[in-house]
Amino acid sequence: MFTKILIANRGEIAIRIIRACKEMGISTVAVYSQADKESLHTALADQAVCVGGARADDSYLDGKRIVSAALATGAQAIHPGYGFLSENAEFAQLCRQYGLTFIGPSAEIISKMGDKEAARKLMRENGVPVTPGTDVLEGPGEALKAAKSIGYPVMIKASAGGGGKGIRLVERPEDLERSFRTACAEAEKAFGDGRLYMEKYLAPAKHIEVQLLADHDGNIVCLGERECSIQKNHQKLIEESPSPGVNPETREKLVQAATSAARAAGYVNAGTVEFLMDKSGKFYFMEMNTRLQVEHPVTELVTGVDIVKWQIRIAAGVPLDFTQKDIQLQGAAIECRINATKSSRVEFFHPPGGPWVRFDTFLYQGCDISPYYDSMLGKLIVYSSTRGEAIRKMQSALCELLIDGVENNIEEQIDIVRDRRFRAGDYYTDFIKYFNPKDKG
Query: Is the pLDDT assigned to residue 441 strictly greater than 60?
Result: no
CB distance 228 to 209 below 8 Å = yes
User: How many whole angstroms from its chain centre is CA 112?
Assistant: 18
Catalytic residue chosen out of the listed positions 291, 337, 358, 423: 291
* Single pTM value for the model: 0.92
Query: Count of CB atoms within 10 A of residue 5's CB?
Result: 28
| Residues 6+ away with beta carbon under 8 Å from 345 | 366, 367, 368, 369, 405, 406
Q: Would you call 257 exposed, middle or buried from its count of C-beta atoms within 10 A (0-12, 13-18, 19+)?
A: buried
As a whole number, the mean pLDDT across the chain is: 95
The strand pairing partners of 274, in sequence order, are: 209, 287
Give kind and range of the element (H or E) at residue 349.
Answer: strand 348-350
Which one, of 159, 162, 129, 128, lies nearest residue 262 by Cα?
128
Helix (H, G, I), strand (E, B) or coil at 68: helix
- What is the H or E stretch that residue 161 is in? strand 154-162
What are residue 116's phi and psi, to 5 degrees? -60, -40
- Distance between CA atoms of residues 369 and 342, nearest Å: 9
Give pLDDT, residue 132. 87
Looking at residue 130, what DSSP letter applies?
B
Identify the DSSP state of 318: P
Model confidence band, residue 440 (pLDDT cutoffs 50, 70, 90): low
**Rounded distance, CA 213 to CA 252, Å?**
16
The helix/strand/coil state of 154 is strand
310-312-317 Cα angle (round to 5) = 90
Measure the CA–CA gap between 210 and 183, rounded to whole angstroms. Answer: 27
By 3-state DSSP, what share of the chain in percent is helix, strand and coil, each rounded to 5? 35, 25, 35
* 61-65, 117-121, 302-306: segment of lowest average pLDDT: 117-121
Q: Which DSSP letter does residue 372 get?
A: T
Quote the CA–CA distance of 292 and 229 in Å, as a whole number.
19
Q: Would you place residue 439 in the very low, low, confident or very high pLDDT band (cuts 50, 70, 90)?
A: low
Q: How long a stretch of residues is the chain?
A: 441
pLDDT of residue 118: 87
DSSP character at residue 25:
T
- Provide the β-strand partners of residue 384: 332
Note the pLDDT tens digit of each residue in 213-259: 999 999 999 999 999 999 998 899 999 999 999 999 999 999 999 99
Pairwise CA distance, residues 24 & 312, whole Å? 10
Q: Active-site residue 55, yes or no? A: no
Between 391 and 203, whose confidence is greater? 391
Q: Name the strand (E) or helix (H) holding 263.
A: helix 248-265
Each residue's pLDDT tens digit, 181-206: 999 999 998 888 999 999 999 889 99
